[in-house]
């Protein structure tokens, strides 16, 4: 063990000596990302402290710890301290990430994040156990199976929320503007994620498409659904992005460009260096520009769904109805390490066509319509739910009714679009 620690400390010192050379070479090449506030003295001194800490732990800790355990722990602390979306992944965690959510998994059907260091629900996926139980966007999860989540990372949360289908998990949450705690005992299920959840005509002239999240096939599936509705004589469209937690950037770009003339800006990405800056523009040869659109959002609309909404609104192609969106506009890049581990690092932010930042700001609708919270089902027992058709559900949806009213009143629609 002593020899291993000695080699580890020696390696850190060599890094301290070599890093300034790497930075200098990159600066000379004009790589703006490498312009760092870290000096040669800073690196050498701070890595020296780190080496001292490893030596002290090795010599004095109550039980033996391997060098890898110490290094992994240090990396985990360093990366997670940057922001709630950056993290260190062990080789197993990296493998799990690469094979994750490709089809189905046992879980509750919620997307979570850390907001103000508290585990927070971005949104429940429609039709999943969490959604049926009454979990809503913004719920703060204080305990999972009576275990406090105070020091949980996102990876920690995912590990305990997922599990064998049929098993139960207990969530203790606190809801915005409430002082009492709520408890939900929810049965895990196989979560099958269907991107285009609904595509139908709500009346003789208005079509409706619900996008639950953005996957690899979302763009092509959305196009097919849109063409089917057009064949049914659709004259106006409602795009429902409520409780859509996001997904693939490319998919959101594909959906947006269907409605925008080239070369309209869809979204911009800006990072620390100019080489990270990217502007996505519409390149559609025959976009659909001849019918009005209303997009629905709520507190559970995040990331890729916010990109679509901002692209359509800023380019005067749609009006937005509902509630302010979640505000998840940062991009994480997963960088593999040589031992099979990886670093998931926030590298840039999304910006709307008008130049506004999305992250922690969200998108405000043109017309605010608050939704009624879903009635909770005791212990996630879906058998007690009244079965109604999708059309009936939409007919009783106050946000959808506002969208229909807006699309049927052409004068009001144009007036709001021009304001």
* Catalytic pick among 303, 305, 325, 348: 303
* Catalytic pick among 195, 314, 330, 341: 314
Q: Which of 347, 338, 306 is nearest to 324 (CA)?
A: 306
Tell me the H-state helices in 191-246: 218-231
Active site residue 268: no
Active site residue 366: no
User: Distance between CA 30 and CA 248 in Å, rounded?
Assistant: 31
CB 392 within 8 A of CB 362: no
User: Distance between CA 12 and CA 15 in Å, rounded?
Assistant: 5
Instruction: Please list, in sequence order, all residues whose beta carbon lies within 8 angstroms of the beta carbon of residue 266, skipping any fewer than 6 positions away.
Output: 252, 253, 256, 257, 260, 280, 281, 282, 307, 311, 353
CB 254 within 8 A of CB 310: no
CB 41 within 8 A of CB 114: no
Neighbours of 65 (CB within 10 A): 15
Torsion of CA 407, 233, 262, 312, to 10 degrees: 30
* Catalytic pick among 58, 212, 328, 397: 328
Q: Which of 334, 262, 257 is nearest to 86 (CA)?
A: 334
Query: Residue 336's beta-bridge partner residues?
Result: 342
Q: List Cα–Cα distances, 45 to 24, 36, 168, 323, in angstroms.
A: 18, 16, 50, 50
* Assigned token pair, 415: 């007036």
Neighbours of 1 (CB within 10 A): 11
Q: Exposed, middle or buried by CB within 10 Å (0-12, 13-18, 19+), for 404?
A: buried
Instruction: Please list, in sequence order, all residues whose beta carbon lies within 8 angstroms of the beta carbon of residue 272, skipping any fewer than 6 positions away.
Output: 32, 33, 347, 348
Active site residue 328: yes
Q: Name the E strands within 289-359.
A: 293-297, 319-322, 330-336, 342-351
Which residues are known to be catalytic?
Answer: 303, 314, 328
């Amino acid at each position: 063990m002593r020899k291993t620690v000695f080699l580890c400390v020696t390696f850190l010192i060599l890094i301290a000596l070599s890093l300034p050379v790497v930075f200098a070479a990159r600066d000379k090449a004009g790589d703006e990302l490498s312009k760092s506030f870290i000096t040669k003295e800073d690196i050498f001194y701070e890595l020296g402290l780190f080496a001292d800490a490893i030596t002290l732990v090795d010599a004095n800790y109550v039980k033996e710890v391997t060098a890898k355990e110490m290094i992994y722990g240090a990396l985990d602390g360093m990366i997670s301290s940057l922001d709630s979306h950056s993290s260190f992944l062990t080789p197993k965690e990296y493998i799990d990430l690469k094979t994750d959510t490709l089809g189905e998994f046992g879980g509750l059907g919620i997307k979570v994040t850390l907001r103000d260091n508290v585990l927070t629900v971005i949104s429940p996926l429609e039709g999943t156990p969490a959604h049926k139980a009454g979990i809503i966007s913004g719920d703060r999860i204080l305990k999972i199976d009576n275990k406090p989540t105070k020091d949980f990372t996102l990876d920690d949360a995912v590990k305990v929320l997922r599990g064998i289908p049929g098993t139960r998990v207990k969530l203790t949450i606190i809801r915005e503007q409430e002082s009492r705690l709520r408890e939900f005992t929810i049965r895990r299920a196989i979560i099958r994620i269907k991107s285009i959840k609904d595509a139908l005509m709500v009346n003789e002239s208005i079509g409706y498409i619900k996008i639950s999240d953005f996957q690899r096939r979302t763009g092509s599936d959305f196009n097919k659904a849109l063409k089917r509705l057009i064949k049914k004589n659709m004259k106006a469209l409602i795009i429902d992005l409520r409780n859509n937690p996001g997904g693939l950037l490319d998919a959101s770009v594909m959906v947006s460009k269907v409605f925008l003339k080239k070369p309209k800006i869809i979204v911009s990405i800006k990072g620390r260096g100019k080489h990270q800056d990217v502007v996505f523009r519409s390149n559609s040869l025959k976009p659909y520009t001849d019918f009005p659109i209303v997009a629905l959002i709520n507190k559970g609309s995040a990331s890729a769904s916010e990109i679509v909404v901002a692209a359509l609104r800023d380019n005067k192609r749609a009006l937005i109805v509902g509630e302010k969106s979640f505000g998840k506009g940062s991009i994480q890049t997963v960088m593999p390490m040589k031992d099979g581990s990886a670093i998931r690092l926030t590298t840039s932010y999304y910006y709307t066509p008008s130049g506004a930042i999305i992250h922690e700001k969200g998108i405000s609708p043109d017309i605010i319509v608050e939704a009624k919270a879903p009635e909770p089902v005791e212990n996630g027992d879906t058998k007690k739910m009244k079965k109604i058709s999708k059309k009936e559900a939409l007919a009783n949806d106050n946000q959808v009714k506002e969208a229909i009213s807006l699309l049927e009143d052409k004068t009001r629609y144009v007036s709001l679009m021009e304001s």
